[in-house]
Amino acid sequence: MEKRLQEAQLYKEKGNQCYREGKYRDAVSRYHRALLQLRGLDPSLPSPIPNLGPQGPALTPEQENILHSTQTDCYNNLADANVRRYLQLTQSELNSYHRKEKQLYMGMFG
C-alpha cells in the first residue's frame, strides 16, 4: 500500500516536471497514471467487483491524507494541463488559418 502511494507521488512529480517543461500531453499521462495507482486505495470508492480478491488493510490517517492530497493535486493539475494543451492546439489552428488567409489574399491581389 505504501509502495502504491509512493509510486503515485512519483508519477505526480514527473507530471509536474513535464508541465514545467511545457510537455502538457506527457503531464496529462503522468497525472492519469498517478490517479490509477491511487484508485484501488481510496476507501470511499466502491470496488468494481464486490467481494472479489483480498480486502486490503485500512489506511492510516496519515496515508489517507497523502492519498487525498495527491488525488486533489493530480485532478487539479490534470485539468490545468488539459486546458493548456487545448489552448496550444487552438493557437496553432488560429495561426494556420491566418497563414491560409494571407496566402489566399496574396493569390488574389499579389
Q: Is the pLDDT of residue 17 over 80?
A: yes
Q: Write 58-63 long-range contacts (CB < 8 A, 24+).
A: 59/1, 63/1, 63/2, 63/5
pLDDT at site 83: 92
The residue ranking higher by pLDDT, 102 or 71, is: 71
For the chain, give the mean pLDDT: 84
Look up the CATH architecture of domain 2-48+58-109: Alpha Horseshoe (1.25)
pLDDT at site 53: 44
Q: How large is the average pLDDT for residues 77-102? A: 83
Q: Is the pLDDT of residue 74 over 80?
A: yes
The residue ranking higher by pLDDT, 98 or 69, is: 69
Distances (CA, A) of 30 to 5, 17, 20, 106: 14, 10, 13, 45
pLDDT at site 51: 59
pLDDT at site 98: 72
DSSP per position, 54-108: PPPPPPPHHHHHHHHHHHHHHHHHHHHHHHHHHHHHHHHHHHHHHHHHHHHHHHH
The confidence band for 2, taking pLDDT boundaries of 50, 70 and 90, is confident
Of 45, 85, 89, nearest in space to 64 by CA:
45
The residue ranking higher by pLDDT, 38 or 46, is: 38
Domain boundaries, the chain: 2-48+58-109
